[in-house]
Structure 1
């Protein structure tokens, strides 16, 4: 870690809540996120701040769960999408389903001028073409099409993906450990994020989400090779270091509200 507390840093916010605050209105999309692997590295805010949309700044949390004003986090998150639904449209039937696929994303942690805490996705690689194109158009998020697969056996969960048209890969394998009965403040900070900041059409919007409280397990890395974090504009050597946090969850059903 390098760098000191920024001059005139914003005051600390209340702790991140592990329970969703609830959506302001009816959800427009619902998805199952399953076999979620969270890998995180701590970085100085100076590595993240230039990558953020206008009106947001890095959200900060030190390893001990305090807000030191200079420590933020980079996440490499892999999971399976299942059963995407659009509640305003009613039941779509099997032919209207988007289908199941794997996603691997790179995300950082943000807070806006209204104090809303969320994430910014620097990249999202998805293993099915039509949902990738649809999500990119509908949300403005930086989705990319990839070959992606998941493997789960003997207490281990592994993901592998390669972005189409590039040599960029992410291959990770973790061993799932014991369930966490009381997550630390940092574990809650890294997983209980109730919205995302998205820059689109010249403005930064906050898209809220809700889901049940994460059922978390601690986990350990068996193997990791990743090009995505460096390609997203972060230090290339970051994923050559052991992650500072490794977590796993069987999954949740997530609902998103409209951006505002």
Structure 2
């Protein structure tokens, strides 16, 4: 499976070389620049929007849900409350929040400050644990939604402009340069795919079709993820 994953990445680049040659240099360069700008805009906007969406729509329901679960426990028993947190919050959210003993200590401290009040404890848990996890997940979703929308707009614009350059005298050069540029475009797509796989493994562990053992035995995928690790959310 590791070889298949590496081979798939190579095939993606070859596909984009062929398709870019067919579409031509002009359309390919517009699409590539547009995709990069779209990704920058998506990252920037998602960082802001994820916080706003969480505070306005997600936080109230999370606090209410946590409070309902805490009503079954002695508010002064921090250990029982922490067990309730671990049992009722999905594992992918705990992963997204980087839940460990240090985070648990912070949560316990915030619960103690709430003096056993269920609502205050729920707010403390939501702001300390659920907030970073949900903002991370919302940010990832928004990045891909915004990028997809902007990508379609870029493709429409590139297709319209490319019609001007579909002249016989420019056709051959347009196709050759398009194929060369297709290498870059294919590489960008491969990097995005690797980032998506990396995020999926981070959130869901080995539950998915591609797990950590598979990616550890790859060559191309592992090299790409290691190189671009600082830029992967």
For normalisation by structure 2, the TM-score amounts to 0.23
Which of the two has greater helix per residue?
Answer: 2
Larger Rg: 2
Which of the two has greater strand per residue?
Answer: 1
For normalisation by structure 1, the TM-score amounts to 0.21
